[in-house]
């Protein structure tokens, strides 16, 4: 978004990698990445900004301008897996519902005989509920979240991230003791958080911990605005699934397949580059700062 003295511009990239939507309050318009922000201020959702579109809000209202040359849509799949809030809907796809579908797909791919399904809150919760419901296994609050701390993977140092995990989550022994546990998380980035979570759940008395992940292995960095980690720090870039399982100490480990993820999202018009290294916008162009897109006059 760009603010001028008497105008607000909203621009969405040609492939719609990042989301942007339009809301209205009375005769005033607003823009937000996620629709849940509109709910917070009491604005009504109007529509998503189209990939490549430029919208202008001024004293005469809302205007749409053709902006960048349209190419194939590639919405960020990780927004649905982890980044976005569950109460957001982006490009007609509700985040919570898509996570629930990921859980159902995990149940199809990897049904486990377990006593309880738990989530790594919050982004694993809807998937865990989908998995538990699909297999008729009880869902329990095995990990309790401290709601006053932020996300751990974006803490700048490893030491801060490690303290962050303990501050952020605590195991609930009354739910876990003597149980065969399926634990569902959205992703494994460096692996250090997962390691601590498995250890925490085992120390709380779980007999078995089966770790299921609602994303494919994160093996490549994102160059489209998300700072996950450098390539060599991504555990899936260094180890195979069995190596990661041993590293985190789980009894079994399963990642959702790309095919199942696409079924859960109901579209293949998504970016999966951090999973498969196929970047929808060429990285060489990004590195050179080259701009192939023609901006038309407003």
Q: Which residues of this protein are in contact with ligand SF4, per CB under 6 A?
A: 17, 76-78, 222, 224, 226, 271-274
Nearer to ligand SF4, 226 or 269 (CB): 226
**Count of other CB atoms within 10 angstroms of residue 40:** 10
- Identify which of residues 176 and 273 has a Cβ nearer to ligand SF4 in the complex: 273
Element (H, E) at 103: helix 95-109
Residue closer to ligand SF4, measured from CB, 76 or 248: 76
Strand 8-11, strand 53-58: pairing: antiparallel
* Minimum distance, C-beta of residue 75 to ligand SF4, in the bound complex (Å): 8
Q: Which is nearer to ligand SF4, 29 or 224 (CB)?
A: 224
Residue with the closest Cβ to ligand SF4?
222
Distance between CA atoms of 86 and 148, rounded to whole angstroms?
A: 18
Nearer to ligand SF4, 17 or 201 (CB): 17
Minimum distance from residue 229 beta carbon to ligand SF4 (Å): 12
User: 168-182 b/e with 16+ CB inside 10 Å = b?
Assistant: bbebbeebbeebbbb
As given in the structure block, the two tokens for residue 45 are 């959702």
> In this structure, what token pair is assigned to residue 173?
């022994």
Cβ atoms of residues 95 and 85 within 8 Å: yes
Please, what is the minimum distance in Å from the beta carbon of residue 273 to ligand SF4?
A: 4
**257 by DSSP, 3-state: which?**
coil
């Amino acid at each position: 978004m760009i603010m001028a003295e008497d105008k607000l511009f909203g621009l969405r990239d040609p492939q719609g990698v990042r989301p942007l939507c339009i809301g209205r309050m009375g005769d005033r318009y607003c823009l937000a990445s996620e629709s849940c922000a509109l709910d917070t201020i009491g604005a009504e959702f109007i529509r998503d900004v189209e990939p490549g579109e430029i919208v202008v809000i001024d004293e005469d209202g809302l205007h749409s301008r053709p902006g960048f040359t349209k190419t194939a849509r590639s919405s960020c799949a990780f927004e649905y897996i982890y980044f976005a809030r569950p109460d957001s809907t982006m490009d007609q796809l509700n985040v919570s519902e898509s996570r629930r579908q990921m859980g159902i797909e995990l149940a199809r791919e990897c049904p486990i005989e377990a006593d309880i399904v738990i989530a790594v809150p919050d982004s694993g919760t809807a998937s865990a509920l989908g998995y538990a419901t699909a297999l008729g296994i009880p869902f329990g609050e095995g990990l309790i979240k401290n709601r006053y701390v932020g996300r751990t993977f974006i803490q700048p140092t490893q030491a801060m991230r490690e303290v962050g995990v303990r501050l952020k989550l605590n195991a609930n022994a009354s739910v876990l003791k003597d149980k065969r546990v399926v634990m569902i998380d959205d992703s494994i980035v460096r692996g250090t958080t997962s390691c601590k979570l498995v250890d925490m759940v085992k120390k709380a008395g779980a007999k078995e911990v089966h770790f299921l992940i609602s994303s494919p292995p994160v093996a490549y960095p994102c160059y489209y605005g998300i700072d996950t980690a450098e390539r060599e720090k991504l555990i899936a870039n260094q180890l195979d699934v069995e190596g990661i399982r041993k590293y985190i100490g789980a009894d079994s480990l399963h990642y959702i397949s790309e095919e199942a993820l696409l079924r859960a999202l109901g579209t293949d018009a998504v970016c999966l580059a951090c999973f498969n290294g196929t970047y929808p916008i060429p990285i060489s162009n990004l590195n050179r700062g080259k701009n192939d897109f023609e901006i038309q006059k407003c």
